[in-house]
Amino acid sequence: MFQEASNFLDFVEELYAQDTAGVSLIEFNAKEMLMHQGSAAQHVFILKSGLCKIGLEEENGKEYILAFLSTGEILGELELIRDEPRLCSVQALNKVEAYKLTKACFLNLLNTDLKLNRLIINAYAERITNTSKKASFQKLYTTENGLQRILKLQETEKIEISKADLSAYLGISVRSLNRLLKQRENS
């Protein structure tokens, strides 16, 4: 549920250690936005630490959380590759450190570095697999099971996820979430 990957982190830390132009390390506080849906894509982030939520706001104003990403995950590369505005918003849930690669740096590496290309292909394969697993889980199991899994993971990771974010991730209303939480208390 909280996705982590170390391969991108190893790759970018090597670039940072070599003082590669266009690579910097920056920090975000909890609730701070890393990216805004619809904005121009000017950089890529690779998470060094912390947890981010990836959300998509629909035309009706409702947010759907696609994923929670953590250490080593790459953010924003798809929009740079496709030269499109940001598809999703990304918000830090706790303190986040991230390596920032400028658009020029990332596109240059994409054109010249086979290792980066392999990492991206593997990341996309992993995302497709995770999306398929999440979709099948949501079809095969009750919402209560999904809630139980995310609450357990939240406890293990020692991170607090708001009711609004929990409901957006599960694809239910806050009211339905409150009903489920009350049922858990009474059982």
Q: How far apart are the first and last CA of the chain?
A: 25
Do residues 67 and 102 both lie within one domain?
yes
Model pLDDT, residue 4: 54
90-to-63, 93, 141, 146 alpha-carbon distances in Å: 12, 10, 28, 22
pTM, entire model: 0.80
Residue numbers of the domain that contains 150: 141-186
Which three-class secondary structure state does DSSP give residue 114? helix
Spatial distance between the Cα atoms of 99 and 177, rounded to a whole number of angstroms: 35
Do residues 125 and 146 share a domain? Answer: no
pLDDT at 90: 97
- Residue 16: the pLDDT is 97
The residue written with tokens 């706001």 in the block is: 57
Distance CA 86, CA 105 (A): 18
When divided into structural domains, the chain yields a total of: 2
What the block records as the tokens of 152 is 């357990």
Residue 136 lies in a domain: no
CB 63 within 8 A of CB 168: yes
Q: What is the pLDDT of residue 1?
A: 46
DSSP summary character for residue 177: H
Same domain, 152 and 108: no
Q: Is residue 135 part of a domain?
A: no
Ordered per-residue pLDDT tens for the chain, 187 residues: 455 565 799 999 999 999 999 999 999 999 999 999 999 999 999 999 999 999 999 888 888 888 888 999 999 999 999 999 999 999 999 999 999 999 999 999 999 999 999 999 998 888 888 888 877 777 777 788 888 888 887 787 777 888 888 888 888 888 988 888 888 888 7
| Shared domain check, 31 and 100 | yes
Cβ neighbors of 159 (< 8 A, separation 6 or more) are 51, 93, 94
- For the chain, state the CA radius of gyration: 17
CA distance 79 to 98: 18
Classify residue 82: in a domain, yes or no. yes
Both tokens assigned to 178: 């409150």
